[in-house]
Structures are given as C-alpha cells and as structure tokens.
Amino acid sequence: MRVYTTGVFDILHRGHLNILTQAAALGELTVGIMSDQGVESTKGTRPILSIDEREAQIRSLPFVTEVIRYTDVDQRQNYTAIKPDIVVQGDDWLFSEDRTSAIGYLREHGIRLVLLPRTQGISTTEIRKRVARSGRRDERFLRECLRMIPATRLKRYEAFDEPKVLKLMQKISSEGVFFNPISIVKEMVVIDGANRFEALCRLGARDVPCVVYDYSDIDLLGNVHFINDGVRTRLSEFAREEGERIEFPRRTPKDILDAAEQGSLIPNGETFHRVPQSVVRLPIPLESLVAAQPFDLGAHIDQLIHEGQIRFYQSSVYICDEWQ
C-alpha cells in the first residue's frame, strides 16, 4: 500500500511523530514537505528551519520511504504523481483550508482518507512560545501581582467543597503553614482557590495571599473532570486525562462576575481559569495570616528572590518553596 501525508514539519516533535508512525504502519510512506515559500504564503511567517533542514529530519526517519517538496496547498498534482492508496492527515486538515477539490479527487480515484487525532498539548507554535519564555524570570510579576488582601474584601463566585475544606483546615493547622496563593481578578473575585479561601476564613485569617490578574489575560474554559477508579480529577496542566470524561458548559467572565455580585454561586469545580503565570508552594506561616499586623509579603518575596529560592519554570509555574 502506498501512503502519503503532508505537513510543514518545522521543529519536529511528538505530534509529528505520532502522525508519521501511524501513517507508516499502513504501508510505504511518502511525506510531502511544504516549501519555505509555501509556508510563508499560507501562515504569514517563514518556518524556523529551512526546507533543506526539515527534509533532512524527515529523511532520517527509518520508516519514511520517500520525501517530496511542494508549495501549493492543492495536492491533486502530487496525488496524480504518487498514486497513493491512502492519504493520512491530522484531523484539523479538513478545517485548515478549503479541501473540497482534494476530497473530490480522493473520492473520484478511490483513495482512502485517514484522519488521525491531533496530539494535544504540543505544536510548533507552543514550542516557539517555550523558547521565547526560556530566558524569562519575571521578578516584576511576582513583586507586582502577589499581594496580601483582607479576607473581607474578597468575593466568591464558586461554592466550596465541604470535605475538601475540612481536610485543608486540618492540614494547615497541623503544619502551621499555608501554601499556594489564591488566584483573584482585580474585581476582587476569587477565580481559583474557593476551598483554600474558605479554610483560611474558618481558621481566622485576616489577610489572604493572592495572585492578582487582569481578566483579559485569562482563558476561561469549560472545565473537564475525569473519573478513574472512583477518583475525580480536575483537568489541569498537572492532571492526566484518564477515565470517564465529564465536561461542563463554558461560562463567560461576565457570568463569573455577575455570580459573585449576586451571590448565586456556581457548583465547585465546573469552571477552569487558565492563567498566564502561576505561583505555587509559597509557604506563609498561619500565625502571620491571623495576626492583626499584615504579613509583609513583598519583603518575603524579595528575600526568596535574593536567596535564589524561586524556580522560574518555562511553563510559567513558579515554585516558591525552600529547597532544604
């Protein structure tokens, strides 16, 4: 069986390899690589790697039989020359361009079209972002966006989960330390940390360590949960997508702010705010949060930065715990 697939293949990654290996499993694989000019005309920017570099990468793969170059998105001329039995593409291929002519050609000539699911969480665009972020430290973000906020100023939009609140209270009390600042927006609405906030309030905290965001910088997603062996996991960059999938409806920032103003709380866990930067494992003594004198969070952050205690991750998650 002759198999044909196409792509840019700039910065070869596991998403490319997933497509290529599955295509090669179907027969002798020919890979079409879009030229530098073709990429620029369709995407608006030139690829990072030249056509020669990209072709060398693909040719080095032992399961690739042949490589060709092309510029025009219309593949009918290549289909005629290669005479494939199967054409393999990612499932976004149908929507990235007008494929009416290509699909018509495949049907007319009895060529099977196989669409493979796109590998989530990886793309050349994402890798470019990682490279751009790799030298960033963002002390300014920590100093400007980490604040102590009086508990009475904070508003809820999300109900808390009583068992989780009780477990958190026990943990914070026994350790005498609160970790993981609560995420809020400038409107003083808690967007992540409803259970932690409730636990702190019950423990008598006067002030709450918060990371303050502008809503325009946040992605508000319809949240997804996975139930695996009776354990419910909330989808996040730290969670695995395993088990039964439960997807909740999307809501808008206006829905969230209105719920906070009206006190009509949304069930716990039904929304997911994806923030551009996160701060985790920042230890603050519980006694400092319940004291009449506000904790000097700014000085604490300056000290952690000075002592090299903060790890600046490319994923924009900053780890703030001591390393002893």
Percentages helix, strand, coil for the chain (3-state, rounded to 5) are 35, 25, 35
Please give the Cα distance from 163 to 172 (Å, whole number).
14
Q: Where does the pLDDT of residue 240 fall: very low under 50, low under 70, confident under 90, or very high at 90 and above?
A: low
Q: Is the pLDDT of residue 309 over 90?
A: no
* pLDDT band at 323; cut points 50, 70, 90: very low
Considering the domain architecture, whether residues 121 and 142 belong to the same structural domain is answered as: no
Q: Write down the mean pLDDT value for the chain.
A: 88
Query: Is residue 210 in a domain?
Result: yes
Residue 271 lies inside a defined structural domain of this protein: yes
State the average pLDDT over residues 98-114: 92
Averaged pLDDT, 224-228: 79
Helices (H) and strands (E) in the chain, counts: 13, 19
Task: Name residues whose C-beta falls within 8 Å of residue 230's C-beta, 6 or more positions apart in sequence.
Answer: none
Quickly state the pLDDT bin for 279 (edges 50, 70, 90). very high
**Domain range for 219:** 135-319
* pLDDT at site 223: 73
Does 20 share its domain with 115?
yes
Q: How confident is the model at residue 321 (pLDDT cuts 50, 70, 90)?
A: low
Q: Binning pLDDT at 50, 70 and 90, where does residue 183 land?
A: very high
- pLDDT above 90 for 156: yes
Report yes or no on 289 lying in a domain: yes
| pLDDT for res 324 | 43
- Specify the 3-state DSSP secondary structure of 214: coil
Q: Is position 270 within any domain?
A: yes
Distance CA 299, CA 32 (A): 57
pLDDT in tens, 49-104: 999 999 999 999 999 999 999 999 999 999 999 999 999 998 888 877 888 899 99
Whether the pLDDT of residue 23 is over 60: the answer is yes
Cβ neighbourhood burial of 319 (10 Å; 0-12, 13-18, 19+): middle
Assign 230 a pLDDT band (cuts: 50, 70, 90). confident
Kindly state whether residue 274 falls inside one of the protein's structural domains.
yes
pLDDT in tens, 190-219: 999 999 999 999 999 999 999 999 998 898
Query: What is the pLDDT at residue 261?
Result: 94
Residue that finishes a domain, picked among 79, 109, 129 = 129
What end-to-end distance do the CA atoms of the chain give, in Å?
59
User: Does residue 216 belong to any structural domain of this protein?
Assistant: yes
156 and 294 inside one domain: yes
* pLDDT on residue 106: 93
Q: What is the pLDDT of residue 317?
A: 63
Examine the domain organization and report whether 145 and 293 are in the same domain: yes
What confidence category does residue 136 fall into, taking pLDDT thresholds of 50, 70 and 90? Answer: low
| 202 and 111, same domain (yes or no) | no
In a domain, 324, yes or no: no
Could you tell me if 115 and 27 lie in one domain?
yes
Residue 247, domain member (yes or no)? yes
Whether residues 181 and 57 fall in one domain: no
165, 224: one domain: yes
The token duo for 239 is 């969670």
Examine the domain organization and report whether 158 and 286 are in the same domain.
Answer: yes
Whether 184 and 315 share a structural domain = yes
Longest alpha-carbon distance in the chain: 79
**15 and 75 share a domain?**
yes
At 233 the three-state DSSP class reads strand
Q: How many domains, in total, are found in the chain?
A: 2
The answer to whether residues 80 and 193 belong to one domain is: no
Domain at 251, CATH number: 3.90.1530.10
pLDDT > 70: what percent of the chain?
A: 91
CATH number for the domain including 32?
Answer: 3.40.50.620
Average pLDDT over every residue of 300-323 = 76
Domain boundary among 129, 155, 190: 129
pLDDT(233) > 90 = no
- 111, 129, 147: which is the final residue of a domain? 129
pLDDT at 44 over 70: yes
